[in-house]
Amino acid sequence: MIDLYTFTTPNGRKASVMLEEVELPYNVHKIDITKNEQFTPEFVAINPNSKIPAVIDRDTDMTIFESGAILIYLAEKTGKFLPAEQKGRFQVLEWLMFQMASVGPMFGQLNHFKKFAPEKIPYAIERYEKETLRLYGVLDKQLSEREFICDHYSIADMATFPWVAIYEFQGLTLDNHPNLKRWVETIQQRPAVQRGMKVP
């Protein structure tokens, strides 16, 4: 049994989508970051960086934090969504790291400065919106010759989708990135994604 510690953020939803896709049983523990529950001693013992998501695999007595590490762990545990052969595996890992290093941080900063910052700073909003749109272009080009980010549906898609799916919340459009828009619409139709996006 997996214990999932999560909240309603794109990073949190990566883990729940993956758990739904691999059909592993799991219990959800809501960590309300709007109430600073991620800083409780109980949660810091699970993730010393006080970020969601995190999982505890009761079958192996392993605790994993960082959403990318969780996706890799679950892929290796189940043998799904991460190719075994080296070339395909590293293609997926490249795009997973692209999400972790670029998509998440840049889209997250845009969210903060556009939606949550107490003071609207035009420079910051423009900077992060411009970078978000640039990253849309990188993804759109990658998706121009394939259905998914890599050759097959993988943890790279699961990591990236929750961040791109909030484009309307960010006041953006995918109309200028038709391949990315098609990809979002394709992923949205997966039943496991629909279930995972509702957690918690």
Q: Domain end: 26, 56, 81, which one?
A: 81
Q: What is the pLDDT of residues 83-104, one digit of tens each?
A: 999 999 999 999 999 999 999 9
Do both 53 and 132 map to the same domain? no
User: Do 104 and 183 lie in a common domain?
Assistant: yes
Q: pTM for the complete prediction?
A: 0.96
Tell me how far apart the alpha carbons of residues 142 and 174 are, in angstroms, rounded to a whole number. 15
Q: Does the residue 196 lie in any domain?
A: no
What confidence score (pLDDT) does residue 128 get?
98
By DSSP bridging, strand 26-30 and strand 2-6 are: parallel
In CATH, what number is assigned to the domain containing residue 140? Answer: 1.20.1050.10
Q: What pLDDT does residue 168 have?
A: 97
Please state the rounded mean pLDDT for residues 50-63: 98
* The pLDDT value given to residue 165: 98
- The pLDDT, as a whole number, for residue 107 is 98
3-state helix, strand, coil in the chain (%, to 5): 55, 10, 35
Domain count, the chain: 2
Domain boundary among 81, 115, 140: 81
Last residue of a domain, one of 36, 60, 81: 81
